[in-house]
Amino acid sequence: MGGCSQDESSCNSCGSAGACSTDEKQKHTDEMIQKRLSSIKYKIMVMSGKGGVGKSTVSVSLASMLNAMGYTVGILDADIHGPNIPKMLGITKKGAVNSDDGIIPFEPIEGLKVMSVGFLIENDDEAIIWRAALKHSMIQQFISDVSWGELDFLIIDLPPGTGDEPLSVAHIIGQVDGSVIVTTPQDVALLDSRKSVTFSRKLGVPIFGIIENMSGFCCPHCGGTVDLFKSGGGEKAALELDVTFLGRIPIEAQVVQDGDSGTPHVIGHPGSSVAKAMKEVTIKVLEQTIKKEG
C-alpha cells in the first residue's frame, strides 16, 4: 500500500508523505478530519448574503459570549480573502506553531481558540489570489491539521455569499450542525440573506436562525434610537422563510472602536445594549442546539 505513515500526524508533517499516492493522502486527510470533528460537539456556520453587515463581528461576539458562559470554543476564519478575525481579537503574531498533534491554534482568551489564514501571511496588505481548489485545500488543512482539541463549539466565519468557501466547509465537515445568518434591515441585505437560507436548505444544513444586525443606532448623547437601516426586516424575512428569528443587535460606536483595538465588545462592555442583545441571541442559539438534539 505504498509508503504512507500509519501514525496520526498530518501528511504535511509526515516524512513518508512523498511515497504516498494522491488517493492515499486524501484518505489519510479524511481520517484526520473525522478525528478532529469527533472532538467538536457543535459546528456552526455564520453566513451573510452580502458584505458589510457585521458578520465577523457577530462571529466574534457569539464565540466570546459562549466562552464567557463556560463553553470551550474555536473560531475557524474561513474568509480567505478577508481574514479579519485576528484583528478583532487583538492577535498580532504571525506564523504557525507545530506540535506532535498538529498546528497549535492561537488562544487570545482561555478556552477560545482561533485559526485564520491571516496568521500565515507576513504582510496584511498582501492580496490572497487563490482559485477554488487552493481555498478548499486550505480550509481542509485548517480542520485536519489544527489541534483543536475538545470543543463545545466551532464557529466558522464565512465570507459573504454562497460561493467556494461555504461549499467547501459544508463538503469537508459533512454534517454542519447549523447556520446563523446575519443581515441588516435594509432591503438589499435582506434579499441576499434569503439566498443564504436557500443555500443552507439545499445543502441540508439546519438553519438556526436570522440575526438582524445594525438594527437601530443608539445615540450616545440622548440615548434615543435612530433606525439608520430601517427596522424589522430580519424578523419579517424569518417569518416568511419559516426560520427562527434570533434577535436584533443595535449599533453602538464603541463596537467599532473595540473591534479595531482587538477587544470583543461583549466582553469589554458586558452592560451595553449590544452585549445584552447578543446574550439573548446566544441563548437562542443554545436553544437551537438543544432542539437539534431532540
**CATH for 243:** 3.40.50.300
Annotated binding residue 56? yes
Range of the domain at 140: 26-293
16 assigned to some structural domain? no
Q: Report pTM.
A: 0.90
How far is residue 117's CA from residue 78's CA, in Å, rounded to a whole number? 8
Annotated binding residue 50? yes
279 assigned to some structural domain? yes
Annotated binding residue 161? no
How far is residue 273's CA from residue 69's CA, in Å, rounded to a whole number? 18
Q: Each residue of 162-218: pLDDT tens digit?
A: 999 999 999 999 999 999 999 988 877 778 888 999 999 999 999 999 999 998 877
- Cell, residue 162: 454562497
Domain count, the chain: 1
80 assigned to some structural domain? yes
pLDDT tier at 19 (50, 70, 90 boundaries)? low
Annotated binding residue 93? no
Q: Each residue of 107-147: pLDDT tens digit?
A: 999 999 999 999 999 888 999 999 999 999 999 999 999 99
* Residue in the structure block whose three cell numbers are 446566544: 282
8 assigned to some structural domain? no
Q: Residue 235: phi, psi to the nearest 5?
A: -65, -40
Pair 135, 168: CB distance under 8 Å: yes
Annotated binding residue 54? yes
The mean pLDDT of the chain is 90
